[in-house]
Amino acid sequence: MKVMWAPWRMEYILGPKADSCPFCLPDGCNLAESAAERLVLHRGEFAFVLLNKFPYNNGHMLVTPYRHVMHLEDLSHEEARELMNLVTLAVKALKQYCSPEGINIGLNLGQAAGAGIAGHLHWHIVPRWTGDSSFLAVMDEVRMIPQHIRETYANLVEIFRNLSA
């Protein structure tokens, strides 16, 4: 029997399940008050950066507009400009945080392209290292995340604060 411990998943298993878009703020939600709960690392005027709750690697971030928009061409010029600036800021934060050997940046447009949440644009920023897909991923379809997501969040949110100051 193979056992993998992932105690942070219990919060998801037992917690309420959203019927709505996980990137959209519910009515009356104060993003400033719920930033840590939602894993928001940085807020801009039109978009924000957050940690992916289901990461490929430690530090896997998402950059998404506040507005629920699914087509790239529907972004305003201001939204598009800020999204690119936030992707760049996320890359700087990752380089400072964990010195990755490479970084994947991806935007999947539509379910057929692999978008898990096709209705709301979001960029993935994933730090990579040579060999980070170890034998576990190849042999057992298991990925090892070596740091608890709350610890990753605490480290990265401080880096974002410093970079934004």
Does a structural domain hold residue 124? yes
Does a structural domain hold residue 20? no
Does a structural domain hold residue 34? no
Does a structural domain hold residue 18? no
Residues contacting 11, CB < 8 A, separation 6+: none
Residue 139 has pLDDT above 50, yes or no: no
State the residue for tokens 């507005």: 67
Candidate from 15-24, 97-106, 141-150 with smallest mean pLDDT: 15-24
CATH number of the CATH domain containing 145 = 3.30.428.10
Does a structural domain hold residue 60? yes
Contact between 62 and 48 under an 8 Å Cβ cutoff? The reply is no
Does a structural domain hold residue 155? yes
| pLDDT given for residue 12 in this prediction | 61
In whole angstroms, give the CA distance from residue 56 to residue 8: 15
In whole angstroms, give the CA distance from residue 118 to residue 21: 10
In whole angstroms, give the CA distance from residue 115 to residue 147: 26
Does a structural domain hold residue 91? yes
CA distances, 120 to each of 54, 55, 68, 73, 123 (Å):
17, 18, 5, 13, 10
Catalytic residue positions? 122
State the residue for tokens 């100051």: 165
State the residue for tokens 């709350």: 150
Q: Could you tell me the pTM of the whole model?
A: 0.81
Q: How many domains does the chain have?
A: 1
Q: What is the mean pLDDT of the chain?
A: 84
In whole angstroms, give the CA distance from residue 77 to residue 112: 26
Does a structural domain hold residue 109? yes
Q: Can you give the residue range of the structural domain that contains 141?
A: 39-164
Contact between 120 and 69 under an 8 Å Cβ cutoff? The reply is yes
Residue 44 has pLDDT above 80, yes or no: yes
